């Protein structure tokens, strides 16, 4: 058995050996508690036939736990300084491939096709950099990758927004965008004390399970998300006011917006957070002819 990377002593040893300094701009916070990592991996329900995609492996703390539990791990690392570190720390594992790339610019579908041949069950498992959590998630969901789902750590506040239900203070356009593609649940919360360096916020791990079909069928997906974003622009405003301000030339099209709301049985005085994803679906279809 190899010594776990994710202990305070071993992490410090590795950082000192390579003279590694954390880059705040890359949101680097390494986990120093192997139990947390074991729990994260367990929520992904991996088997010896599974593949895992990791984003931001750091010094390989989570990567090694994935490597022990599945057939193949592909990890995307943006920071070139970490490549020699990972080559060293992950040398015991022949089933890991590290790709030096920004995940937001990578063709992940192509990488899966090349690196995960014959693997039917694929999960994204990662401790996401907090400053780009939402763009990374939306890219992975929007690209409709051949994955079963994602188990990812993020800032607790963002996790609460992603998993929120209609009528709650955390519910917003992010909840709708993510829940359109996947079912979402918070599976564990993580204290800031298990990171090096410690972040200023607590974290949470969410599990997203990809839907075979979206919960609603809409004419134009992109427009659905535009309508959702506009509806939450200012939370205290009514949906009518927000749509007027947030949709292109919405001010001149007030009557068309009112007509669309009435057509869907939605009171113009309601607020965005009271609408279900089904209501947003109907509303975006009703508005679409006026904003094409």
pLDDT band at 26 (very low <50, low <70, confident <90, very high): low
For residue 94, the model assigns a pLDDT of 97
pLDDT band at 27 (very low <50, low <70, confident <90, very high): low
For residue 157, the model assigns a pLDDT of 95
For residue 216, the model assigns a pLDDT of 95
pLDDT band at 9 (very low <50, low <70, confident <90, very high): very high
- Per-chain mean pLDDT for the chain: 94
Residue 111 in this model has a pLDDT that exceeds 90: yes
pLDDT in tens, 87-97: 999 999 999 99
Q: What is the spatial distance between Cα 35 and Cα 205, in angstroms, rounded to a whole number? A: 14
Looking at the chain, the whole-number percentage of residues with pLDDT higher than 70 is 98
Could you list the residues known to form a binding site, using ranges.
Answer: 29, 31, 56, 77, 102, 127
Q: Quickly count helices (H) and strands (E) in the chain.
A: 12, 9
Average pLDDT over residues 251-278: 95
Does this model's pTM top 0.85? My answer is yes
Could you list the residues known to form a binding site for S-adenosyl-L-methionine, using ranges.
Answer: 29, 31, 56, 77, 102, 127
Q: What is the spatial distance between Cα 60 and Cα 48, in angstroms, rounded to a whole number? A: 19
C-alpha Rg value of the chain to the nearest Å: 21
pLDDT in tens, 67-88: 999 999 999 999 999 999 999 9
Angle 173-181/133-142 helices, nearest 10 degrees?
40
CA angle 174-180-183, nearest 5°?
95
Average pLDDT over residues 200-217: 95
State the pairing for strand pair 96-100/72-77: parallel
- Judged by phi (left if over 0) then psi (alpha if -120 to 50, else beta), residue 249 lies in left
Structural domains in the chain, CATH included, are: 8-210 (3.40.50.150), 221-291 (1.10.8.100)
On the CB side of 64, how many CA atoms lie within 13 Å of its CA? Answer: 20
Residue 129 in this model has a pLDDT that exceeds 90: no
Residue 125 in this model has a pLDDT that exceeds 90: yes
Locate tokens 């367990």: which residue?
42
Asked whether the beta carbons of 286 and 263 are under 8 A apart, the reply is yes
State the pairing for strand pair 195-196/30-31: antiparallel
Question: How many CB atoms sit inside 10 A of residue 269's CB?
Answer: 10
Residue 1 in this model has a pLDDT that exceeds 60: no
For residue 3, the model assigns a pLDDT of 79
The two three-digit tokens of residue 114, written as one number: 């090349």
For residue 30, the model assigns a pLDDT of 87
Among candidates 122, 147, 98, 112, which has minimal Cα distance to 49?
A: 122
For residue 250, the model assigns a pLDDT of 83
Looking at the chain, the whole-number percentage of residues with pLDDT higher than 90 is 87
Element (H, E) at 15: helix 8-18
Report helix, strand or coil for 191.
coil
Q: What is the spatial distance between Cα 159 and Cα 137, in angstroms, rounded to a whole number? A: 11
pLDDT band at 120 (very low <50, low <70, confident <90, very high): very high
pLDDT band at 160 (very low <50, low <70, confident <90, very high): very high
* Across 3-12, 16-25, 62-71, least confident range: 16-25
């Amino acid at each position: 058995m190899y010594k776990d990377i994710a202990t305070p002593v071993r992490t410090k040893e590795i950082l000192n050996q390579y003279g590694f300094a954390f880059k705040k701009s890359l949101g680097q916070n390494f986990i120093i508690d192997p139990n947390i990592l074991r729990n994260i991996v367990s929520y992904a329900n991996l088997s010896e036939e599974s593949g895992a995609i990791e984003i931001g492996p750091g010094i390989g703390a989570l990567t090694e736990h994935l490597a022990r539990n599945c057939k193949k791990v592909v990890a995307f690392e943006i920071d070139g300084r970490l490549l020699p570190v990972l080559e060293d720390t992950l040398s015991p594992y022949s089933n890991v491939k590290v790709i030096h790339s920004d995940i937001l610019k990578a063709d992940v579908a192509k990488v899966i096709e090349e690196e995960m041949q014959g693997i039917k069950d694929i999960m994204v498992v990662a401790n996401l950099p907090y400053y780009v959590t939402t763009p990374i998630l939306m890219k992975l969901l929007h690209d409709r990758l051949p994955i079963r789902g994602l188990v990812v750590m993020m800032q607790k506040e963002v996790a609460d927004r992603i998993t929120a239900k209609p009528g709650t203070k955390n519910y917003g356009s992010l909840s709708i965008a993510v829940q359109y593609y996947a079912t979402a649940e918070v599976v564990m919360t993580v204290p800031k004390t298990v990171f090096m360096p410690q972040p200023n916020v607590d974290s949470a791990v969410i599990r997203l399970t990809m839907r075979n079909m979206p919960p609603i069928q809409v004419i134009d997906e992109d427009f659905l998300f535009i309508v959702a974003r506009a509806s939450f622009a200012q939370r205290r405003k009514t949906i009518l006011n927000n749509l007027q301000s947030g949709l292109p030339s919405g001010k001149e099209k007030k009557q068309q917006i009112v007509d669309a709301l009435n057509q869907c049985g939605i009171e113009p005085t309601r607020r965005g957070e009271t609408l279900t994803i089904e209501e947003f679906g109907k509303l975006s279809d009703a508005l679409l002819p006026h904003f094409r």
